[in-house]
Amino acid sequence: MNVAALAADLRAAARRTDHRRLLVLAGDRDAGIDAAYDAIEGAEISTSETTLVTTREGFKFDRVDPKQARELLGTTRTAVVCDAHESFSPNVLGRLVGTVDGGGLFILLAPPLDAWPERPGSFESSLAVPPYDVDEVGGRFRERLVATLRDHPGVAIVDVDAGTIERRGAADDDAPVRSSPTPPRAGTRVFPQAAYEACVTTDQSRALHALEAVARRETDEKQAVVVEADRGRGKSSAAGLAGASLAAAGRDVLVTAPDRRNAADVFARARELFADLDLLASEEDWDLRTTSGGRVRFRSPTEAATLPGDPDVVLVDEAAAIPVRLLSAFLDAPSVAFFTTVHGYEGTGRGFSVRFREQLIEADHDVVDVSLGEPIRYAPNDPVETWAFRALLLDARPPVDGLVADASPSSVDYRTLTADELATDEHLLREVFGLLVLAHYRTEPDDLARLLDAPNLRVRVLEHAGHVVSVALLAREGGLDAATRRAMYEGERVRGNMLPDVFTSQLRDEDAGVPVGYRVVRIATHHAARSRGLGSTLLAEIRAEFESVADYLGVGYGATPELLSFWAENGYETVHLATTRNTSSGEYSALMLDPLSDAGRALCDRHARWFRDRVPDVLVDQLRDADPDVVRGTLAACSVDEEVGRGTPDLSDREWRVVVGAASGPGQYATAPGAFRRLALHALVGGATDDGGQAARTLTAREERLLVRKVLQAQPWEVAADELGYVSTRQCMRSFGAACEALVDRYGAGVDVVATERARFED
């Protein structure tokens, strides 16, 4: 075995084609590390160009712990050595592969390949959520990974224990095909020529030219540009060049991304162009100012959604990983550009397109679309990139639209999918995972391994003509022993049991982990067959299957009015609304249950009752800024005891006099807000909807929002009037009086003091 010579050959082939090569050093860990040193030396790569990702310490290479692998995103290395013996995960692999430059090597230190699937590591141990043991975690993802390593072009394998070379990593050795970008003619461009000279590919130059749309002012129509690309195509660099060009012309450019690190390339390119143009006046805390009066500044998505300082242009990088609620807010800017990854671990641009495109079409924007296909760091058709896409299913997609366009509840078949079926049927796995990726912008390579190996997960689908049209991913939760429940109650986090964890640790219910439930982790329907009841059909089939083996079905999600309506219509009842916003969705998370047994009903009822008891206090504090329609939907989906939502609220005679006085006479809300709060809660809990419940026949939707905003969330009259579209505070107060009168009509019938008090005003 001559690892140094093999690495030299791989490096030479990589440099000829401007591609990368992958070298697997399988066997003993120490022997693999020694072989990695030989490979780096044989390939003539300096230590300054090499990064070793490992938990071990004491190396002359630049070392990064696997937990910090995210920090390498956006950087470029000639060689990366990934130690897969400890703290290895699919996410780590996905983060590292893209950091290797064309002509470089990605070196993977692995256990013996035949034994690797049977050797669970720390990631696999994390999948052993209670009550499961690590022995019950599968090895299917690692089997898949090993299979791809053994048959994919450009992958060399060395058995360091036997001292043999299993594969030499042969691949297409044709000369690289690279484009040569040329700047648009002076009369056809707005941005400086220096910006175009900084472009690496023709695609990038074309994208930059398309981004000039946000700089044009020929009409009053708002401008939007959508830039989609696979990872490593230079879209963030194009964003930086566009932002700097706009700032050079004196524009105020607001940049946002899920994390500042995502925007590092944007600011790096902007800074370089300012230097070329000699325009940088100052730089402070992610705020670049130019001598021409322009600036490029960063704000978090939540801050940026308020459009602080009224920017001229907003640039949204990694838009697929930002909640749609915030993306919609950016449409209020005069011009906006969205940059999103199509295939990559940061998120999915296809999901962004499906979820956000409808809103973009309905907005009053002139929309320009552009995509980048040619990679920046290496030439097209790089074998390591195609291997990563294949191994991690980064390019998984659901069936093409035409195959499921005619799907309906009557045309589909309900199917249970086992992990073995998914692992042995690549086409089926790609359809299922592709649909999950499309529906959720946070789907990562780790999720593929969970799908194949996690013992607590179940997959259920609807198929139309043999193709997956709807999918649900379920997690078994609960059924925990007394020791685990006690530890959870005392503050220990118990993985994989989200609902019992919240009920136990936050809501102080030590018995919540006794019933067995199945939480709907994800549910997705193909975009070509939406709004036909397929999601509800799938949930109904799941309920029918699990009602004899589980105590409840549950779900937790970032609450929106639409989602609350969907889950309520399918029989799920609100038991909790989180008091902090979900970091992924930007919304307050709702927890809902669909009881299947007496134990499930008891769990649901007591948490619904506790929720109703505490929600008035929470709404005037942590949830004071919650969307009133979310509050309405949450309360409407809360289960109703006989005495709540029906009959008479518990108001004293004096409180009834105040309420009747506010409705029909000179009484004031401020004198007894608690009475109004109990009355509003009585009206809104358990069925207050626009088109069905008793409360809906009493109050309009706008009046319900007013009760939420003014009474339950205690907002000032001026704020409530402005947010709900009243022409004046006085009109808002009159509407409040009318709402009170309607509630007195409904709940005051038969109350003596109400009849007496109303008679006085009628006279």
Q: Tell me: the pLDDT tens digits for 570-602?
A: 999 999 999 998 766 678 999 999 999 999 999
Pull the structure tokens for residue 317: 């990088």
If asked whether residues 122 and 8 sit together in one domain, one would say yes
| Edge-to-edge order in the sheet of strand 457-464 | 412-417, 457-464, 467-478, 516-525, 552-558, 588-595, 573-581
**Rounded Cα distance, 350 and 85, in Å:** 34
Three-class SS state of 694: coil
Asked if residue 643 is part of any domain, the answer here is: no
Asked if residue 25 is part of any domain, the answer here is: yes
Cβ count within 10 A of residue 502: 19
Kindly report the CATH number assigned to the domain that includes residue 10.
3.40.50.11040
Structure-derived torsion over alpha carbons of residues 747, 749, 755, 757, reported in degrees to the nearest 10? 10
Asked if residue 545 is part of any domain, the answer here is: yes
**Rounded Cα distance, 244 and 268, in Å:** 10
Predicted local confidence at residue 58, as pLDDT: 80
Kindly report the CATH number assigned to the domain that includes residue 557.
3.40.630.30
Domain that holds residue 73: 3-168
User: Residue 364: which residues within 8 A CB-CB, separation 6 or more?
Assistant: 221, 222
If asked whether residues 562 and 692 sit together in one domain, one would say no
If asked whether residues 675 and 604 sit together in one domain, one would say no
If asked whether residues 325 and 413 sit together in one domain, one would say no
- Which residue shows structure tokens 């009037």? 721
If asked whether residues 479 and 528 sit together in one domain, one would say yes
Asked if residue 633 is part of any domain, the answer here is: no
pTM value surpassing 0.85 = yes
Least confident interval from 172-176, 381-385, 531-535: 172-176
If asked whether residues 572 and 599 sit together in one domain, one would say yes
Asked if residue 393 is part of any domain, the answer here is: no
Q: Give the mean pLDDT of 11-38.
A: 96
**Rounded Cα distance, 644 and 752, in Å:** 20
Pairing of strands 335-341, 222-229: parallel
Predicted local confidence at residue 693, as pLDDT: 39
Kindly report the CATH number assigned to the domain that includes residue 262.
3.40.50.300
Identify the CA nearest to 435 among candidates 460, 406, 416.
Answer: 460
If asked whether residues 576 and 660 sit together in one domain, one would say no
Asked if residue 270 is part of any domain, the answer here is: yes
Identify the CA nearest to 472 among candidates 553, 402, 563.
Answer: 553
Predicted local confidence at residue 441, as pLDDT: 59
Q: Evaluate if residue 746 carries a pLDDT over 60.
A: yes
User: What is the DSSP code string of 88-133?
Assistant: --HHHHHHHHTTEEEEEEEEEEES-TTTGGG---HHHHHT--TT--
Number of independent structural domains in the chain: 4
Identify the CA nearest to 658 among candidates 543, 718, 737.
Answer: 737
Read off the pLDDT of residues 695-717 as tens digits, 9 standing for 90 and up. Answer: 434 789 999 999 999 999 999 99
**Rounded Cα distance, 95 and 228, in Å:** 19
Q: Evaluate if residue 231 carries a pLDDT over 70.
A: yes
If asked whether residues 451 and 572 sit together in one domain, one would say yes
Last residue of a domain, one of 168, 201, 234: 168
Cβ count within 10 A of residue 387: 22
What is the separation of C-alpha 365 from the centre of its chain, rounded to a whole number of angstroms?
A: 25
If asked whether residues 352 and 443 sit together in one domain, one would say no
> Residue 194 forms beta bridges with which residues?
none
**Rounded Cα distance, 125 and 189, in Å:** 56
* Bond before 561 cis per omega within 30 degrees: no
If asked whether residues 457 and 586 sit together in one domain, one would say yes
Predicted local confidence at residue 691, as pLDDT: 39
Least confident interval from 225-229, 434-438, 455-459, 564-568: 434-438
If asked whether residues 470 and 442 sit together in one domain, one would say yes
Q: Give the mean pLDDT of 16-21.
A: 95
Read off the pLDDT of residues 355-376 as tens digits, 9 standing for 90 and up. Answer: 677 778 778 788 899 999 999 9
Asked if residue 240 is part of any domain, the answer here is: yes
Asked if residue 645 is part of any domain, the answer here is: no
Pairing of strands 552-558, 365-372: unpaired
If asked whether residues 270 and 334 sit together in one domain, one would say yes
Kindly report the CATH number assigned to the domain that includes residue 705.
1.20.120
pLDDT band at 345 (very low <50, low <70, confident <90, very high): low
Last residue of a domain, one of 117, 138, 168: 168
Q: Evaluate if residue 129 carries a pLDDT over 50.
A: yes
CA torsion sign, 420 to 424 to 426 to 431? Answer: negative
Last residue of a domain, one of 168, 199, 227: 168
